[in-house]
Amino acid sequence: MTPLDETPPAQDPQSAAGGPAAGPAAAGGGRHARPAPSEQHEVTQAALFDAFGGVRGTVETMLPGLLFVMIYTVNRDVRLSAIAAGAVAVVLVVVRLLRKDTVKHAFSGVFGVGVGVAFALFTGSAKGFYLPGMIYGAGLGVAFTLSALVGFPLLGVVLGPVFRENMSWRTRNPGRKKAYTKASLAWGIIFLAKYAILFPLYWWGDATQLGWVLIALKLPPMLLAVYFTWVFLAKAPPPIDVIAEYEAEEAERKAAKAKAGTAQPGKPQD
Protein backbone atom coordinates (compact mmCIF):
# COMPACT_ATOMS: atom_id res chain seq x y z
CA MET A 1 0.00 0.00 0.00
CA THR A 2 1.32 3.41 -0.90
CA PRO A 3 0.36 6.82 0.54
CA LEU A 4 -1.44 8.04 -2.59
CA ASP A 5 -5.07 7.25 -3.43
CA GLU A 6 -5.58 4.17 -1.24
CA THR A 7 -8.86 3.57 0.54
CA PRO A 8 -8.70 5.53 3.79
CA PRO A 9 -8.63 3.93 7.20
CA ALA A 10 -11.20 5.08 9.71
CA GLN A 11 -9.50 8.32 10.69
CA ASP A 12 -9.87 12.00 10.05
CA PRO A 13 -8.29 14.23 7.40
CA GLN A 14 -5.00 15.72 8.50
CA SER A 15 -3.81 19.24 8.11
CA ALA A 16 -0.86 20.20 5.93
CA ALA A 17 1.15 20.83 9.06
CA GLY A 18 0.90 17.13 9.94
CA GLY A 19 -1.52 17.41 12.86
CA PRO A 20 -5.11 16.22 13.11
CA ALA A 21 -7.95 18.37 11.90
CA ALA A 22 -9.40 20.56 14.59
CA GLY A 23 -12.93 20.33 15.88
CA PRO A 24 -15.08 17.20 16.46
CA ALA A 25 -12.97 15.10 14.09
CA ALA A 26 -10.01 15.36 16.43
CA ALA A 27 -12.12 13.88 19.19
CA GLY A 28 -13.44 11.05 17.01
CA GLY A 29 -16.32 13.00 15.47
CA GLY A 30 -17.34 13.40 11.82
CA ARG A 31 -14.88 13.02 8.95
CA HIS A 32 -15.63 16.40 7.41
CA ALA A 33 -14.92 18.62 10.41
CA ARG A 34 -12.74 21.55 9.41
CA PRO A 35 -9.98 23.46 11.17
CA ALA A 36 -10.74 26.96 12.34
CA PRO A 37 -10.74 29.39 9.36
CA SER A 38 -7.71 31.28 10.67
CA GLU A 39 -5.75 28.03 11.05
CA GLN A 40 -6.75 26.87 7.56
CA HIS A 41 -5.66 30.21 6.09
CA GLU A 42 -2.30 30.13 7.89
CA VAL A 43 -1.54 26.56 6.77
CA THR A 44 -2.43 27.38 3.16
CA GLN A 45 -0.40 30.59 3.21
CA ALA A 46 2.66 28.83 4.64
CA ALA A 47 2.47 26.03 2.06
CA LEU A 48 2.13 28.46 -0.87
CA PHE A 49 4.99 30.56 0.49
CA ASP A 50 7.20 27.47 0.54
CA ALA A 51 6.06 26.15 -2.83
CA PHE A 52 6.73 29.36 -4.76
CA GLY A 53 9.95 30.36 -3.03
CA GLY A 54 8.80 33.27 -0.91
CA VAL A 55 10.31 36.74 -1.11
CA ARG A 56 13.87 35.54 -1.54
CA GLY A 57 12.98 33.14 -4.33
CA THR A 58 11.11 35.89 -6.14
CA VAL A 59 14.05 38.29 -5.86
CA GLU A 60 16.46 35.64 -7.14
CA THR A 61 14.18 34.98 -10.09
CA MET A 62 13.94 38.66 -11.04
CA LEU A 63 17.52 39.83 -10.41
CA PRO A 64 19.31 38.30 -13.46
CA GLY A 65 16.71 39.62 -15.89
CA LEU A 66 16.73 43.04 -14.27
CA LEU A 67 20.53 43.19 -14.48
CA PHE A 68 20.41 42.20 -18.15
CA VAL A 69 17.94 44.89 -19.17
CA MET A 70 19.72 47.58 -17.10
CA ILE A 71 23.12 46.89 -18.66
CA TYR A 72 21.66 46.60 -22.14
CA THR A 73 19.75 49.86 -21.73
CA VAL A 74 22.99 51.67 -20.85
CA ASN A 75 25.48 50.27 -23.38
CA ARG A 76 23.53 48.08 -25.86
CA ASP A 77 26.08 45.31 -25.42
CA VAL A 78 24.26 41.96 -25.68
CA ARG A 79 27.33 39.90 -24.77
CA LEU A 80 28.17 41.87 -21.62
CA SER A 81 24.52 41.91 -20.52
CA ALA A 82 24.12 38.18 -21.02
CA ILE A 83 27.35 37.27 -19.22
CA ALA A 84 26.50 39.53 -16.27
CA ALA A 85 23.02 37.99 -15.94
CA GLY A 86 24.43 34.47 -16.09
CA ALA A 87 27.16 35.27 -13.57
CA VAL A 88 24.77 36.70 -10.98
CA ALA A 89 22.47 33.66 -11.37
CA VAL A 90 25.41 31.36 -10.63
CA VAL A 91 26.47 33.47 -7.65
CA LEU A 92 22.96 33.19 -6.17
CA VAL A 93 23.12 29.39 -6.38
CA VAL A 94 26.62 29.30 -4.84
CA VAL A 95 25.49 31.50 -1.94
CA ARG A 96 22.59 29.15 -1.25
CA LEU A 97 24.90 26.14 -1.37
CA LEU A 98 27.35 27.76 1.06
CA ARG A 99 24.52 28.62 3.43
CA LYS A 100 23.06 25.10 3.00
CA ASP A 101 19.70 26.60 2.02
CA THR A 102 17.10 25.08 -0.28
CA VAL A 103 18.39 25.40 -3.84
CA LYS A 104 15.45 24.15 -5.93
CA HIS A 105 14.23 27.64 -6.85
CA ALA A 106 17.74 28.96 -7.42
CA PHE A 107 18.66 26.01 -9.66
CA SER A 108 15.51 26.41 -11.74
CA GLY A 109 16.30 30.10 -12.06
CA VAL A 110 19.90 29.56 -13.15
CA PHE A 111 18.78 26.99 -15.72
CA GLY A 112 16.31 29.44 -17.25
CA VAL A 113 18.87 32.24 -17.25
CA GLY A 114 21.46 29.91 -18.79
CA VAL A 115 19.15 29.06 -21.69
CA GLY A 116 18.38 32.76 -22.20
CA VAL A 117 22.10 33.64 -22.16
CA ALA A 118 22.79 30.92 -24.75
CA PHE A 119 20.02 32.24 -27.02
CA ALA A 120 21.23 35.82 -26.68
CA LEU A 121 24.86 34.96 -27.47
CA PHE A 122 23.90 32.66 -30.34
CA THR A 123 21.51 35.11 -32.01
CA GLY A 124 23.39 38.29 -31.07
CA SER A 125 20.00 39.81 -30.17
CA ALA A 126 18.85 41.02 -26.77
CA LYS A 127 15.39 39.67 -27.56
CA GLY A 128 16.90 36.19 -27.67
CA PHE A 129 17.54 36.40 -23.92
CA TYR A 130 13.81 36.70 -23.27
CA LEU A 131 12.43 34.25 -25.84
CA PRO A 132 12.97 30.90 -24.00
CA GLY A 133 11.30 32.20 -20.86
CA MET A 134 8.40 33.59 -22.85
CA ILE A 135 7.84 30.29 -24.65
CA TYR A 136 8.04 28.43 -21.34
CA GLY A 137 5.58 30.80 -19.64
CA ALA A 138 3.09 30.64 -22.50
CA GLY A 139 3.37 26.84 -22.45
CA LEU A 140 2.62 26.85 -18.73
CA GLY A 141 -0.45 28.98 -19.37
CA VAL A 142 -1.74 26.46 -21.92
CA ALA A 143 -0.91 23.52 -19.62
CA PHE A 144 -2.68 25.05 -16.60
CA THR A 145 -5.76 25.86 -18.67
CA LEU A 146 -6.02 22.47 -20.37
CA SER A 147 -5.40 20.58 -17.12
CA ALA A 148 -8.28 22.43 -15.48
CA LEU A 149 -10.61 21.80 -18.42
CA VAL A 150 -9.92 18.04 -18.49
CA GLY A 151 -10.37 17.69 -14.72
CA PHE A 152 -6.76 16.94 -13.80
CA PRO A 153 -5.61 20.33 -12.45
CA LEU A 154 -1.86 20.81 -12.68
CA LEU A 155 -1.74 22.88 -9.50
CA GLY A 156 -2.98 19.89 -7.52
CA VAL A 157 -0.08 17.82 -8.85
CA VAL A 158 2.38 20.57 -7.86
CA LEU A 159 0.96 21.39 -4.42
CA GLY A 160 -0.26 17.95 -3.35
CA PRO A 161 3.15 16.88 -1.94
CA VAL A 162 3.54 20.28 -0.23
CA PHE A 163 0.30 19.69 1.68
CA ARG A 164 1.23 16.01 2.30
CA GLU A 165 -1.92 14.93 0.50
CA ASN A 166 -0.16 13.78 -2.69
CA MET A 167 -2.91 12.85 -5.19
CA SER A 168 -5.61 11.98 -2.62
CA TRP A 169 -7.59 15.06 -3.64
CA ARG A 170 -8.52 13.34 -6.91
CA THR A 171 -10.67 10.60 -5.39
CA ARG A 172 -11.06 11.30 -1.69
CA ASN A 173 -11.46 15.05 -1.40
CA PRO A 174 -13.70 16.46 -4.16
CA GLY A 175 -13.83 19.89 -2.53
CA ARG A 176 -10.07 20.29 -2.90
CA LYS A 177 -10.16 18.97 -6.45
CA LYS A 178 -12.67 21.70 -7.28
CA ALA A 179 -10.45 24.32 -5.63
CA TYR A 180 -7.37 23.11 -7.52
CA THR A 181 -9.34 23.23 -10.77
CA LYS A 182 -10.40 26.84 -10.18
CA ALA A 183 -6.87 27.84 -9.17
CA SER A 184 -5.29 26.12 -12.19
CA LEU A 185 -7.74 27.88 -14.50
CA ALA A 186 -6.86 31.21 -12.87
CA TRP A 187 -3.13 30.55 -13.41
CA GLY A 188 -3.76 29.61 -17.03
CA ILE A 189 -5.82 32.70 -17.83
CA ILE A 190 -3.37 35.05 -16.08
CA PHE A 191 -0.34 33.56 -17.84
CA LEU A 192 -2.01 33.62 -21.26
CA ALA A 193 -3.07 37.24 -20.75
CA LYS A 194 0.48 38.18 -19.76
CA TYR A 195 2.06 36.65 -22.85
CA ALA A 196 -0.67 38.03 -25.09
CA ILE A 197 0.90 41.39 -24.16
CA LEU A 198 4.54 40.31 -24.40
CA PHE A 199 4.65 38.44 -27.71
CA PRO A 200 3.47 41.40 -29.84
CA LEU A 201 6.23 43.43 -28.16
CA TYR A 202 8.73 40.71 -29.00
CA TRP A 203 7.82 40.79 -32.68
CA TRP A 204 7.28 44.51 -33.20
CA GLY A 205 8.73 46.34 -30.20
CA ASP A 206 12.20 47.46 -29.20
CA ALA A 207 14.36 45.04 -27.17
CA THR A 208 14.72 47.57 -24.35
CA GLN A 209 10.96 48.16 -24.28
CA LEU A 210 10.35 44.44 -24.16
CA GLY A 211 12.83 43.99 -21.30
CA TRP A 212 11.33 46.66 -19.08
CA VAL A 213 7.73 45.58 -19.74
CA LEU A 214 8.71 41.99 -18.99
CA ILE A 215 10.29 43.08 -15.69
CA ALA A 216 7.18 45.11 -14.87
CA LEU A 217 4.95 42.10 -15.56
CA LYS A 218 7.15 39.63 -13.70
CA LEU A 219 5.70 40.02 -10.22
CA PRO A 220 2.09 41.34 -10.41
CA PRO A 221 0.64 38.40 -12.43
CA MET A 222 2.41 35.92 -10.17
CA LEU A 223 1.07 37.60 -7.03
CA LEU A 224 -2.43 37.67 -8.52
CA ALA A 225 -2.28 33.95 -9.37
CA VAL A 226 -0.97 33.07 -5.89
CA TYR A 227 -3.69 35.21 -4.32
CA PHE A 228 -6.44 33.38 -6.22
CA THR A 229 -4.86 30.05 -5.24
CA TRP A 230 -4.84 31.08 -1.58
CA VAL A 231 -8.49 32.20 -1.75
CA PHE A 232 -9.70 28.96 -3.35
CA LEU A 233 -7.66 26.61 -1.14
CA ALA A 234 -8.32 28.47 2.10
CA LYS A 235 -12.04 27.92 1.55
CA ALA A 236 -11.63 24.28 0.50
CA PRO A 237 -11.79 21.25 2.83
CA PRO A 238 -8.52 20.56 4.66
CA PRO A 239 -6.04 18.21 2.95
CA ILE A 240 -5.91 14.53 3.87
CA ASP A 241 -2.44 13.80 5.20
CA VAL A 242 -1.83 10.48 3.45
CA ILE A 243 1.78 10.40 4.65
CA ALA A 244 0.59 10.36 8.27
CA GLU A 245 -2.00 7.72 7.37
CA TYR A 246 0.65 5.51 5.79
CA GLU A 247 3.00 5.92 8.76
CA ALA A 248 0.17 5.08 11.19
CA GLU A 249 -0.69 1.94 9.20
CA GLU A 250 2.96 0.85 9.21
CA ALA A 251 3.20 1.43 12.97
CA GLU A 252 0.01 -0.60 13.57
CA ARG A 253 1.28 -3.40 11.34
CA LYS A 254 4.61 -3.59 13.19
CA ALA A 255 2.87 -3.51 16.57
CA ALA A 256 0.52 -6.31 15.55
CA LYS A 257 3.45 -8.37 14.27
CA ALA A 258 5.39 -7.85 17.48
CA LYS A 259 2.33 -8.76 19.57
CA ALA A 260 1.79 -11.93 17.55
CA GLY A 261 5.44 -12.88 18.04
CA THR A 262 5.29 -12.54 21.83
CA ALA A 263 2.03 -14.48 21.98
CA GLN A 264 3.53 -17.61 20.37
CA PRO A 265 4.41 -20.36 22.91
CA GLY A 266 8.06 -21.22 23.34
CA LYS A 267 9.59 -24.40 21.97
CA PRO A 268 9.27 -27.53 24.19
CA GLN A 269 12.33 -28.19 26.30
CA ASP A 270 14.28 -31.52 26.14
Q: Decide if 23 is inside a domain.
A: no
Q: Decide if 145 is inside a domain.
A: yes
Q: Decide if 16 is inside a domain.
A: no
Q: Decide if 220 is inside a domain.
A: yes
List per-residue pLDDT tens for the chain, 270 residues long.
444 444 344 344 344 334 333 333 333 333 444 555 566 666 676 667 666 666 777 778 888 889 999 999 999 899 999 999 999 988 888 888 888 777 666 666 778 888 999 999 998 899 999 999 999 999 999 999 999 999 999 999 999 988 889 999 999 999 999 999 999 999 999 999 999 999 999 999 899 999 999 999 988 999 899 999 999 998 899 999 899 888 888 888 888 888 887 766 555 554
Q: Decide if 59 is inside a domain.
A: yes
Q: Decide if 27 is inside a domain.
A: no
> What's the domain range around 147?
36-253
How many domains is the chain built from?
Answer: 1
Q: Decide if 232 is inside a domain.
A: yes
pTM recorded for the entire structure? 0.74
Q: Decide if 111 is inside a domain.
A: yes
CA distance 88 to 120: 16
